[in-house]
Amino acid sequence: MLDAFASAFALIISGDAELLGIVGLSLRVSLSAVFFASLLALPVGAAVALFSFPGRSGVIVVLNALMGLPPVVAGLIVYLLLSRVGPLGPLGLLFTPTAMVIVQSLLIFPIVAALTRQIVSDLWEEYREQLTSLGASRLRAIPTLLWDGRFSLITALLAGFGRATAEVGAVLIVGGNIAGVTRVMTTAIALETNKGNLTLALALGAILMTLTLLINGFAYGVGEFSRRRYGA
């Protein structure tokens, strides 16, 4: 164990180019996935919270259930879509970082959408009469509630980001773990484990955890600062 942390430290200090590439790709892929998934999931989650339509309960149940979508299943679906024999085959996206962003977005979307629905729902409870009184339509209320729920929504985004960075099954299938092209932290850890290189695997794991910790700490700090400033 100690060996692992020592070698993690040594790896970081050495600034190994391959390692930096892997870390960089991990962050790039997962952050992009959070961004694109949220672009859709935030308004969709808010819309489900605010509007009543036939089948709304069904949508909520499905969104909640999809939070537990097995990454391997998501990977398989995207693989079949992007494969040359699949409907999106001609795009040639399989085994590229873009494919990994797509599959991670698919995994993140239900998490962000379901949590957003919950957060916006609670906020709408509080704001409903006031916003209606001011003459805001439900559609107009969506950006208002998303903005006013921003501190809680950061947590939803972090949950999505956590899922993306921790996940290995899906990116392995659609990315192929190609050295220097689609190898990210988790697939590198899986590979080193397969080689029986447990120390290196654990060292990579320690680096991944440290990164996750830093990002969460940063988001928490920003959230707390603004919470105090805005009295949310």
Partner 1 sequence: MRTMPTTLPVLLRNVVLERAGKTLLGPINLQLEASGRTVILGPNGAGKSLLLRLCHGLLSPTLGEVCCATLGSPTRAEVRRRQAMVFQRPVLLRRSAIANVTYALGLVGIRGQLARSRAMEALDLVGLASLAERSARVLSGGEQQRLALARAWVLQPEILFLDEPTSALDPGATQAIEAAINRFADNGTKIVMVTHNLGQARRLADHCLFLAGGRIVESAPAATFLAQPNSPEAAHFLAGEQGAYLKERDDDPDYYSV
Partner 2 sequence: MIRTIIRFSTALLIALSLSLSVNAQERGFITIASTTSTENSGLFEDILPQFTESTGIEVRVVAVGTGQALRIGCNGDADAVLVHAPAAERQFIADGCGVDRREIMYNDFIVIGPGSDPAGIEGTETAAEAFQIIADAEAPFASRGDDSGTHKKEMSIWADAGIEPAGSWYRELGSGMGAALNTAAGMDAYIMADRGTWISFDNRQNLEILVEGDPNLFNQYGSVLVNPANHDVKHELAQEWHDWLVSEEGQAAIGAYRLRGQQLFTPNAN
Q: Does residue 15 bind partner 1 (CB under 8 A)?
A: no
Distance CA 104, CA 116 (A): 18
CA-CA distances (angstroms) from residue 64 to 87, 111, 133, 201?
28, 8, 32, 33
Q: Does residue 139 bind partner 1 (CB under 8 A)?
A: no
Binding mask 145-174 for partner 1 (x = CB under 8 A): --xx-xx-----------------------
Q: What's the token pair of residue 82?
A: 């992007």
60 vs 95 by CB, closer to partner 2: 95
> CA Rg, the chain, in Å?
20
Task: Report the nearest approach of partner 1 to the CB of residue 53 (Å).
Answer: 19
Q: Is 8 helix (H, G, I), strand (E, B) or coil?
A: helix
58 vs 180 by CB, closer to partner 2: 180
191 binds, among partner 2, partner 1, none (CB under 5 to 8 A by kind): partner 2
Nearest Cα neighbor of 48 from 170, 167, 142, 150 is 142
32 binds, among partner 2, partner 1, none (CB under 5 to 8 A by kind): partner 2
String of DSSP letters for 29-46: HHHHHHHHHHHHHHHHHH
Q: Does residue 130 bind partner 1 (CB under 8 A)?
A: yes
91 vs 136 by CB, closer to partner 1: 136
Task: Report the nearest approach of partner 2 to the CB of residue 194 (Å).
Answer: 3
Q: Which of 126, 214, 224, 225 binds partner 1 (CB under 8 A)?
A: 126
String of DSSP letters for 46-92: HHHHH---TTHHHHHHHHHHHTT--HHHHHHHHHHHHSTTSTTGGG-
Q: Which of 56, 84, 140, 195 binds partner 1 (CB under 8 A)?
A: 140
Residues that bind partner 1 (CB under 8 A): 126-127, 129-130, 132-137, 140, 144, 147-148, 150-151, 229-232
